[in-house]
Amino acid sequence: MKYLFILGRNIELSIEEVKSFLKRTKNKIINLKQNRNSILIETQNSLKPNAINQLGGVIAIGEVKDKEQELYSGTSNKLNYVLWNFSNQEDVEKTREYLKKRFKNEKLKATEKKLGRIISMQNKKKASTLSSKNIQEQFFIFNNEFGKIIQTCDYKNIEKRDMQKPITRSELSISPRLSKIMINLSEVKKGKLLDSFCGIGVILSEALLQNIPVIGIDIDKKALEGAKKNLQWQNFKDFKLIKADSRKIKIPLCEVLVSEPDLGEILKKIPTKEKAKDTLRKFTSLMISVINNIKENVSGRIVFTAPYIKTIHKRIGCDSKEIALKTKKELVLKIPEFRENQIVGREIIVLE
């Protein structure tokens, strides 16, 4: 099977997420090609119909099709469609002409719409994305491969559980999107997921949606009460919340750790280099203590965010190599995740 993954704004992070997702779902990658903010992957097995619900860094998934296959299964004779372009202009124009003739022969009043909306990627490049809601079909051209979009991200549902949950902390909480990315990077399969700084339970919630049992630890009693309310709001049951210091508590056996620790003070202006370095030193020390305390009871990967602080000249992050060295772990990934106007962004760090 060949699938197109249209990626979100952080292309590097999205690619690593897709690769880890396929590995954790035991779907071998036979071939992978990249073109701008998309990747075309040949897989050993078919994707599940709801695969995109488990992915945080993917806008849409398409499947390579034979052009002679059925392209439109609706009942109306009116059709609005878009064509995602990941190819050269010649291939795109040929595909456009083919679709026009094809739909005309099928007596459809088909109109190609433009993608319309431009988004800024983390690498500062621009990409097009869908803006119109009145679209019945989406097609794509990737190099010389043609296909149809079969799954799209359900932004409304994600926003609902992010913004309508009983307890919110807009300046402190991680997003559902990034939570899903980190869960995939952990490559968790059937074991328990530990969040050692669970806050109000966003990572726990996203894991439970995938039927992954979870344990959440936090030293903040009020945050834990919020986590309990949020998880009960979604009718989850397979969770355990513990008020404790993750540097000291003895934890049950878990498969992975996925967590967003305290990233330091919420800054309204760019700090001095010395202040940023002090925050990063404290964070490094905290993570070494936590990982050394829990590592014997975590069999798989350790995935966490770390502060990535904007200073006058450049962004600086924690010493992930020191964390790996002093916890006797291997540094697998370290990928920045931030928006240009953020003073404290994130780095996603994966150890195993």
Tens of pLDDT, residue by residue over 259-301, are 999 999 889 899 999 999 999 999 999 999 999 999 999 999 9
Q: Residue 203: which CATH number?
A: 3.40.50.150
* 292 & 167 share domain: yes
Tens of pLDDT, residue by residue over 60-71, are 999 999 988 889
Mean of the pLDDT values across residues 90-115?
95
| 170: confidence class by pLDDT, cuts 50, 70, 90 | confident
Closest to 343 measured CA to CA, from 226, 274, 263, 289: 263
* 169 & 137 share domain: no
Task: Evaluate the CA torsion angle 224, 228, 234, 240 in order and state its sign.
Answer: positive
Domain around 204: 156-351
Mean of the pLDDT values across residues 154-175?
90
Last residue of a domain, one of 101, 120, 153: 153
pLDDT at 26 over 90: yes
Q: How are beta strands 214-218 and 239-243 bridged, if at all? A: parallel
pLDDT at 22 over 90: yes
Q: Quote the CA–CA distance of 265 and 166 in Å, as a whole number.
A: 25
Q: Quote the CA–CA distance of 246 and 197 in Å, as a whole number.
A: 8
* 56 & 123 share domain: yes
* 167 & 109 share domain: no
Domain count, the chain: 2
* 168 & 146 share domain: no
One DSSP character per residue, 232-247 reads: HHTT--SEEEEES-TT
Tens of pLDDT, residue by residue over 320-352, are 999 999 999 999 999 999 998 899 999 999 999
Tens of pLDDT, residue by residue over 231-261, are 999 999 999 999 999 999 999 999 999 999 9
Instruction: Show the 3-state SS of 302-343.
Output: EEEEEEEEECCCCEEECCHHHHHHHHCCCEEEEEEECCCCCC
Tens of pLDDT, residue by residue over 196-223, are 999 999 999 999 999 999 999 999 999 9
Token pair 């999107």 is found at 177
- pLDDT for 306: 98
- Residue 107 CA: distances (Å) to CA of 100, 223, 325, 340: 11, 59, 66, 48
- pLDDT for 131: 83
Instruction: Encode burial over 204-241: b for 16+ CB neighbours within 10 A, e otherwise.
Output: bbbbbbeebbbbbbbbeeebbebbbebbeeeebeebeb
Rounded to two decimals, what is the model's pTM? Answer: 0.96
Closest to 23 measured CA to CA, from 33, 34, 15: 15
* 182 & 142 share domain: no
* 336 & 192 share domain: yes
- pLDDT for 68: 86
- Give percent above pLDDT 70 in the chain: 100
What's 100's DSSP letter? Answer: H
- pLDDT for 320: 98
Tens of pLDDT, residue by residue over 172-186, are 789 999 999 999 999
- Residue 67 CA: distances (Å) to CA of 71, 145, 169: 8, 10, 48
pLDDT at 171 over 80: no
* 8 & 135 share domain: yes
* 205 & 294 share domain: yes
Tens of pLDDT, residue by residue over 72-89, are 988 899 999 999 999 999
